[in-house]
Structure 1
Amino acid sequence: MDVTVYHNPNCGTSRNVLAFLIQRGIQPTVIEYLKTPPNRSEVADLARKAGVPLRDLVREKGTPFAELGLGEPGVTDAQLLDAIEAHPILLNRPIVVIGDRARLCRPSETVLAFLDEAQA
């Protein structure tokens, strides 16, 4: 099974997801997205694969979300993509990609159900 994790090693949830995958015998491709940020189209594609609005992949806590006014009414996906491009910390984590599907795995146990779905 081809699995990719958009990972932040400083995040406990992200570390837990990685541990769950390894315990299941999966050696995922790990993208430390703060060191190697995904481009705009990759971020948009993650939201599409997850089947969620882009806003659902944006992290508020511990980021410049409020300072950038991203919670204001009328903020567009293009503005969110601009903000994520400039501040990759705004991309919530961990995002796990299996094939043509993706999921934000918060809480970390979410990855187990996602794996089961992917294997079914």
Structure 2
Amino acid sequence: MKVTIWHNPACGTSRKTLAILESLSGVELTVIEYLKQPPSAAKLAQLYRDAGITPQQGLRLRGTDAAERGLPDADDATVLAAMVAEPRLIERPLVETEKGVRLCRPQDKVLEIL
């Protein structure tokens, strides 16, 4: 099974999710450090759509100025543009498999798509 994780190595939940994925056999894993290689707005929109959440639900509030900037109440295009410009606004980790996408908070949510 092909699995892609949008990962931040500084994040404990992201590291725990990656450890779950690395422990599985038969997984073809792609790790994307999204702070170094941010996804496009179109890719983010697709990930959130496939996860069944809105861009606002995928917004990282902790440790960012997203709330002060009004992003939780902004339209999708504004939120996505902010995330592309400042990838630290993307809540992590996002994991994509052929069975779907999950924002893996907590990390055990990844099991839903394996």
Query: Shared topology, TM-score over 0.5?
Result: yes
If the length of structure 2 is used for normalisation, what is the TM-score?
0.91
Task: Tell me, yes or no, if the aligned pair for 2:38 and 2:87 is still in contact at 8 Å.
Answer: yes
Taking the aligned partners of 2:36 and 2:87, their CA distance within structure 1 comes to: 9
Q: Name the aligned partner's letter for residue 18 of structure 1.
A: L
Unaligned runs of 5+ in 1: 116-120
Distance 1:17 1:87, change over 3 A: same
Report Cα offsets for 1:2-21 as digits up to 9, x if no partner. 00000000000000001011
Computing the radius of gyration from Cα coordinates, the structure with the larger value is 1
Taking the aligned partners of 1:87 and 1:105, their CA distance within structure 2 comes to: 20
Percent identity over the alignment is: 47
1:11 matched to 2:22: no
Offset of 1:53 from its aligned partner?
1.5
SS at match of 2:36: coil
Match of 1:38 in 2: 39
Report Cα offsets for 1:33-83 as digits up to 9, x if no partner. 0000001101101111112112111110011212322134xx100110111
1:28 matched to 2:29: yes
If the length of structure 1 is used for normalisation, what is the TM-score?
0.87
Task: Tell me, yes or no, if the aligned pair for 1:49 and 1:100 is still in contact at 8 Å.
Answer: no
CA RMSD of aligned residues (A): 1.3
Moved over 3 A (4+): none
Taking the aligned partners of 1:78 and 1:100, their CA distance within structure 2 comes to: 26
Q: Name the aligned partner's letter for residue 30 of structure 1.
A: V
- Residues matched between the structures, number: 113
Task: Tell me, yes or no, if the aligned pair for 1:46 and 1:102 is still in contact at 8 Å.
Answer: yes
